[in-house]
Structure 1
Amino acid sequence: MSEERNRRIGIVGYGHVGIYLVNQILKEGDRYHLELAFVWNRTIEKMEGAVESHLQLHDLSEFEKRNADVIVEVAHPSITRDYGEQFLSAANLLIGSPTVLADKEIESRLRESAKISGHTLYIPSGALWGGEDIQKMAERGTLKGLKVTMTKHPDSFKLEGNLAEKKQEAIHRPTVLYEGPVRNLCPMAPNNVNTMAAACMAAHTLGFDNVIGVLIADPSIPNWHLVETVVTGATHEGTGGVFSVTTTRYNPAESGCVTGNATFMSFWSSLLACKGHGGRVYLC
């Protein structure tokens, strides 16, 4: 039996998640047959002294020269918007900012690029609990409703537009910032609702227009991120009744951080699953 070849991983973004993934690959890469192909960050200086110079990629447009098998975007939705199709033409792509898929045109282009190239567009489950079960219900045609509520301390939200102004109301009391279709929420909270975007991709029969997102700012929980999912579905024909599951995930988080602590390990598990699943979208 031939020895398994290392998968070369390109990391795009060197924030909290990017740093974690780089360190994990350097520490445990041999065990999982992974190696770094490159690390890119908008601010190159942030990598100095932390990432060896030969692994630093200064010009993202030259990513193909590094021959990555998997490219991991953990920077900002604009990266996948601008480079997603190019990434997929050369490698499998794990997008840590799936809020970009709320744009119908971008989602369509990326699906088509995956189909043409044969590479996989991976959607990490992140803080979403039960994503595979939601996806199975969608595939069976039994999924009827999905509501995702995310509650965080106001300092953990990076918001745009009128949501940024509304956040000021939550300094002293819990405040519902938004309730409605996830598609409309993603552009206003692109860094905060990736869990909701992953849920929309899992619940593909409902999609961004019919999955309901609720965003709550609560000053009483500085060290927690709460994610509640309410799933409703149909039972087998003739049995009657409505199937329903409610889960609440309590994720420890550093004060003011966008990403909860448990989500880092979830990203690592998602990366380990990126072994090529053909030209399609794959929740991992």
Structure 2
Amino acid sequence: MGEGPLVVFCHGFPESWYSWRHQLPAVAAAGFRAVAMDMRGYGETTAPASTDAYTLSHMVGDVVALVAALDEEQAVVVGHDWGAPIAWYSALMRPDVFRGVVGMSVPYTAPIAMPSGMTMTDLMRKAAGPGREYYRLFFQEPGVAEANLEADIDRTVRGFLYSISGNVVTDGVFERGWDGHFPMGQDFMQQLVVPEVLPPWLTEEDVKFYAAELARSGFHGGLSWYRNINAQPAILSPFVGTTITAPSMYVSGENDLIAANPAAMEKFPTSLPGLRGVHVLPDAGHWIQQERPLEVNDVLVAFLTSL
């Protein structure tokens, strides 16, 4: 949509290009070519059956390939949720292609050397503590999470989008946002709150679109991203000690605990030397660009036009 310098948008789990529906026209109107991609495993993409086909390298490669397929040499990359680390690491691994980067809801975490004998899932299990499950760990077992999420996709969409939005706090359902942990022995869907009335930022048409897309693709592709977490440190090991030098910006919601990482944000001055802004929107939750489209559009367009 639009003409001008290319801006590529990367969505998260379990979403679609559609999650950027409010940003595309605003960015195009500001003089940019705005393109939102369906990430690998979603929508009408070719969704490989092999879990090994969903590593960080594959995801970054997909974004680079899209830029080339659009006959462009460079782009600004914008990502939300899982799309945020894809955007961050695209800028880290291919600074020749990505001249700017915006991450939403997941802060940049610089590559580090893992402790000997430890994996990412080991660290998550330790952080969860005895008798506690963590959603990323629940998603690891092939077939289990698929069955849980696909049993009633309409309910999954409604519950997922509401339960980690800012509305669960402003509506008084939770005192604070959900951090993704729950008692061992329960499943993921048991943690979700399905609202009787959708929040103002989400319509029945939106739910219908997401549900149809996920019914077509299934959840295997998106879940496979989580199942490659342990491969990520090795993929990023050549970049330990490097920084993202391109201009960058981070946007998140005050009530988003699902991907909260204050320690990573404290390191922004050194990990993101090109940082041009951090915007934490009051009362907003995880689905920041849908919950607060006007505010997100304002800071996004301001960043893009500054490049």
Name the TM-score, length of structure 1 as normaliser. Answer: 0.38
TM-score (norm 2): 0.36
Question: Rg larger in 1 or in 2?
Answer: 1
Higher relative contact order at CA 8 Å, sep ≥6: structure 1 or structure 2?
2
Whichever structure has more strand as a proportion of its residues is 1
